Amino acid sequence: MATTVARAGDTLGGARRRPAEGRRRRRPSKTRWWVVLLFLSPFVIGLATFVLYPVVATLYYSLTNFQAGSYRPVRFVGLNNYRTLFTRSDDFWLSVRNTLWMVIVMVPVRTVWAMLTAWVITRVKRGRSVYRTLYFLPSMVPVVAGALSFIVLLNPVGPLNKLLGLVGVSGPGWFSDPAWSKPSLVLMALWVSGNTMVIFSAAMLDVPRELYEAADLDGAGPLRKFRSITLPAISPVIYFSLLTGLIYTFQYFTEAFVVSGSSNVESSSNQLLGYPANSLLFYSTELYRQGFSYFKTGYASAMAWLLFLAIFAVTVVFIRASRRFVHYSGGAR
Amino acid sequence: MTTVPMPRRPLTGRRLLNKIAEHALAVAFALCFLLPLLISVLTAFMTQRQAGTGSLWPSPWDFGNFGRVFHAMPFGRDLLNTVIYAALATVGTVVSSVPVAYALSRLRWRGREAFFMVVLAAMMLPAQVTSLPLYVLYSHIGWIGTLKPLIVPSFFGDAFSIFLLRQFFLTIPEELTEAARVDGAGELRILLRVMIPMTRPAIAAVGLFAFLYAWNDFYNPLLYTGNSQSGQTLAVALTQLAKSGHQNAYQLQMAASLMFLLPILVLFFLAQKVFVEGIAMTGIKG
């Protein structure tokens, strides 16, 4: 879209330029540097203070034994923090495993669910906007409020298990059972997949009906039509959903923090982050615990840098790999 | 004689069944999406004895929970903090991001594309990478426990908002701003008189996203104001109500979180179009 507009602008400018040449009409020239600086200055200052400085400082901290709030002199320890992470920290590896579990399970499942709900919406003609509003509504609920709702809903003796009991199923312990706690979080993620659903349904409704009609004439079945028409059309959305989901899940924090902290009423401290049985100890919650509960700032900084590198690497790999399967309408790309 | 136009197919047999099946499916999904909200609302009207027992329907109805929230936690103060944070962060984000987006879409200068890459990179930077030094910085200047660490940065531009605004600005024909330039208008004037009036819906969408982000924000308030009493925002305070010794305070939690999300729902129904279009925009242009 953006490129089309720019291209149209260029041709117009080009058409106008030739006759204007004789009258020496001024070409849109470079803006004066101080005007540019004026427009950029708040952001440049912000970038330096709230992004650039902290990124560099985190790298520096990660090479020291710095502990925020302690009067102990800061000592340079080289790669010791990283060595500890890789060789001596069970909690670190546990948090990595838990986070990868979420990346591998939650991200694709959520994408498929968004696709499915979008498909349901495109099938219905009358009342489509009502259904869309209802499906989208939970996405507006603040994460904290949503998590608290699910704690009530998924209480082992709570409403959902009661409903399941009515149909003869004895429900699991959900958030209080280490085997079920992560799947329960996935369930919660499905509940708030409305944003992605909206984008999917827009892409699906954009597909020209004639394509399906032509496929019908050729005798294509529903599966074939999905594979050859729908899937290419929505592949940019799948890509977008997986990529943003990936980045989000690497930093997954609030849901896990609230659920761990609030679903066990007995505890009142951050020591129980990861409850039950550390099954909800994710990378970011472990980082928070090390950095802001134990104030091992240097150690947590090393974790932060590793997270940064991991996200960067995975994003690059993902973008490269996706070139093969993402189909952009509009030709060259 | 055989070329009589086909009448519209009547709604019978298979087609009717199909339609019913489609709607049944859509309703089933709608119930799934609504169930957690329904349970929250119903729980907020239960007595303490009933809440958390798995009862589905309040009996008797207890309308006092909403009032009790104000005794169980300083709800009014936390609400005020949340409103201040969200309102100022919205203003700050919009005011500081619009000029940058303009410079990235309309001004011509060397390094523009490279700078845009920096914006994209800043957008993807995880908060965890910056929060440790920022915490140290804020505690040095005595900002921990106040709302300043939440509000002040928003006045220095937000990468995501800049990105979105730039995409919108690029859809405005270059001729319009160029014409104003030929007429001798300065860049600031063009921005204020041409660009902003033409992209008002987009700016509204960016403002709404900023408001929502601040209202829902948990991570930053937890780090920077979490342990203080005076700077508490609702998102963090709600989780502490859940832990504040009430063995079973589900009905209070649900009443408090309903009051917390009510403004958002009102906003949503007032500005639904802006939301949905804004979201479609993030996806398609992203």
**Structure confidence by residue, pLDDT tens digits, A224-260:** 988 889 998 899 899 989 999 999 999 999 999 999 8
Alpha-carbon distance A183 to A177, whole Å?
10
Query: What is the token pair recorded at A244?
Result: 């943003």
N- to C-terminal Cα separation, chain B: 56
Alpha-carbon distance B124 to B101, whole Å?
17
Query: What is the token pair recorded at B204?
Result: 């509204």
For residue A194, which of B283, B87, B158, B142 has the smallest C-alpha distance?
Answer: B283
Q: Is the pLDDT of residue B269 over 50?
A: yes
Over residues B121-150, mean pLDDT: 92
Q: Is the pLDDT of residue B286 over 50?
A: no
Name the least confident of A46-55, A67-76, B41-50, B211-220: A67-76
Confidence of residue B129 (pLDDT cuts 50, 70, 90): very high
**Is A123 within 8 Å of B27 (Cβ atoms)?**
no
Q: Is the pLDDT of residue B246 over 70?
A: no
The contacts of residue A279 (CB under 8 Å, 6+ apart) are A98, A178, A179, A181, A182
Q: Is the pLDDT of residue B270 over 70?
A: yes
Over residues B46-52, mean pLDDT: 84
Q: Does A78 touch chain B (CB under 8 A)?
A: no
Beta-carbon count within 10 A of A116 CB: 16
Chain B partners of A46 at a C-beta cutoff of 8 Å?
A: 96, 153, 155-157
3-state secondary structure (DSSP) of residue A76: strand
Over residues B155-160, mean pLDDT: 94
Distance from CA of B206 to the nearest CA of A (A): 15
Q: Please tell me the predicted confidence (pLDDT) of residue B177.
A: 87
Over residues B206-217, mean pLDDT: 94
Between B93 and A320, the more confident residue is B93
User: At CA A272, angle to CA A267 and CA A273, rounded to 5?
Assistant: 130
Distance from CA of B29 to the nearest CA of A (A): 8
Looking at residue B123, the DSSP 8-state letter turns out to be H
**pTM (2 d.p.):** 0.87
Which residue among B124, B129, B212 places its CB closest to the CB of A304?
A: B129
Confidence of residue A190 (pLDDT cuts 50, 70, 90): very high
Task: Name the closest residue on chain B to residue A291, using Cα atoms.
Answer: B132
3-state secondary structure (DSSP) of residue B12: coil
Chain B partners of A55 at a C-beta cutoff of 8 Å?
A: 125, 129-130
Chain B partners of A138 at a C-beta cutoff of 8 Å?
A: 33, 36-37
Over residues A44-53, mean pLDDT: 94
Distance from CA of B168 to the nearest CA of A (A): 8
Q: Is the pLDDT of residue A187 over 60?
A: yes
Which one of A312-326, B42-56, B140-154, B180-194 scores highest in mean pLDDT?
B140-154
Q: Please tell me the predicted confidence (pLDDT) of residue B248.
A: 61
Over residues A170-189, mean pLDDT: 92
Alpha-carbon distance A299 to A305, whole Å?
10
Name the least confident of A271-280, B185-194, B224-233: A271-280
Which residue among B132, B174, B276 places its CB closest to the CB of A300?
A: B132
List % helix, strand, coil for chain B (3-state, nearest 5): 70, 0, 30
**Is B106 within 8 Å of A39 (Cβ atoms)?**
no
Here the ipTM equals 0.88
Q: Please tell me the predicted confidence (pLDDT) of residue A1.
A: 37
Confidence of residue B4 (pLDDT cuts 50, 70, 90): low
Chain A partners of B34 at a C-beta cutoff of 8 Å?
A: 134, 137
User: At CA A260, angle to CA A258 and CA A261, rounded to 5?
Assistant: 65
DSSP state string for B80-114: HHHHHHHHHHHHHHHHHHHHHHHHHHT---TTHHH
Domain boundaries, chain A: 90-322
| Whether B187 and A31 lie within 8 Å, measured CB to CB | yes
User: At CA B163, angle to CA B161 and CA B164, rounded to 5?
Assistant: 65
What CATH number does the domain located at A90-322 have?
1.10.3720.10
Query: What is the token pair recorded at B172?
Result: 């405005």
| Whether A161 and B243 lie within 8 Å, measured CB to CB | no
Q: Please tell me the predicted confidence (pLDDT) of residue A21.
A: 41
Domains and CATH numbers, chain B: 13-64 (no CATH), 74-243 (1.10.3720.10)
Q: Is the pLDDT of residue A277 over 60?
A: yes
